[in-house]
Structure 1
Amino acid sequence: MIAAFKFLHIAALSIWCAGLVGLPLLLARHSPDGDQIDFTRLRVLTHQSYVRLVTPAAVIAIVIGTALIFMRSVFVPWMFMKLVMVGVLVIVHAWIGHITLQMGEQQGDYTPPAAVPLVAASLVAMLAILILVLGKPFIEAWPGPAWLLAPQGQSLPVDEVPM
């Protein structure tokens, strides 16, 4: 069961990461000077790829990855660092979605940003994730602030504590 989940996680992650590299390159090809046919073709390709392929792959990768964390009880510092890098991928994903939306709504009025920052951010996060997952480095000291590990002596903001 875990092997099947890992396979699905890696497959969805591969599609998501390919989209995070490919979509900025496609978006950079949009030209405000282009004709309507080229604009429509690129617009449909980028929009449909984002909505029907890359976003579902991202959701599947994150859901199955979360399930794997609980199935394997991997609550170690390197995993939390990996989750921060996954957060970077989510931010890049949202940024690409915003650019895709702007391209469709503002033809001729919107010049897409260069693909290099988006692709570079994606590749750095992907490389960091690979290093953390494959290396599983032993991190003895907590890299975050100490107050996150200590109780604060405050009550919960709800009346009842769930059982």
Structure 2
Amino acid sequence: MLLWVKAFHIVSVICWFAALFYLPRLFVYHASSSDKISIERFKIMERKLYRGISTPSMIATLVLGFWLISYNVEGYLASGWLHAKLFLVALLVAYHFYSGYLLKQFRDDKNTRSHVFYRWFNEFPVLILIAVVILVVVKPF
């Protein structure tokens, strides 16, 4: 059963990151748009991505991740790399919910940030992904 849980955890992580990479990219295009048709289309795309893919993938990632930890709680909790990983996951959850806040700003036509901000905002999950993969594979501490 452990390998099944691990496999589905990896799948849910991939789906969550795909959504976290794409949503800010939609924000870039949305912030650059000026015509009503495009703006309304981006609102729909952002909402469906956040509610239909990103949030369910985040929930699956967290549930399956804690399920994996439950197989060896003492061993995992004694591992420093896991503490660092969980801290990064907490940052990613905060990023996810902040993205939801930004989505609402766009939905309500209250966005005040430029497309340049969202281009930089889009890079944060990449840095988290690199760090998490290194922690899980290398287990440096």
1:121 deviates by 1.5
- Give the Cα–Cα distance (whole angstroms) in 1 for the partners of residues 89 and 113 of structure 2: 24
Q: CA shift at 1:32, angstroms?
A: 7.0
Aligned to 2:122: 119
Q: Counterpart amino acid of 1:115?
A: Y
Gaps of 5+ in 2: none
Deviation at residue 115 of structure 1 after TM alignment: 2.1
TM-score by length of 1: 0.78
Query: How does 1:6-155 map onto structure 2 within 5 Å?
Result: 6-31=6-31, 34-73=34-73, 74-75=76-77, 76-106=79-109, 109-113=110-114, 114-137=117-140, 139=141
**Which 4+ runs in 1 deviate beyond 4 A?**
none
Per the alignment, do residues 67 and 38 of structure 1 end up closer, same or farther by CA in structure 2, a change over 3 Å counting? same
| Bigger relative contact order, structure 1 or 2 (CA pairs below 8 A, ≥6 apart) | 2
Aligned residues: 136
Secondary structure of 1:29's partner? helix
Conserved 8 A contact 2:28-2:119 = no
Which of 1 and 2 has greater Rg? Answer: 1
Runs of 5+ consecutive residues of structure 1 not aligned to the other structure: 140-163
CA RMSD of aligned residues (A): 1.5
Q: How many Å separate the matches in 1 of 2:124 and 2:46?
A: 19
- Aligned partner of 1:146 in structure 2 is none
Provide the secondary structure at the position in 2 that maps to 1:5: helix
- Sequence identity of aligned pairs in percent? 27
Superimposed CA distance per residue, residues 122-142 of structure 1 (whole angstroms, 9 cap, x where no aligned partner):
1111111000000112x3xxx
TM-aligned CA deviation for residue 87 of structure 1: 1.0
Q: 1:4 to 1:79 in 2, by over 3 A?
A: same
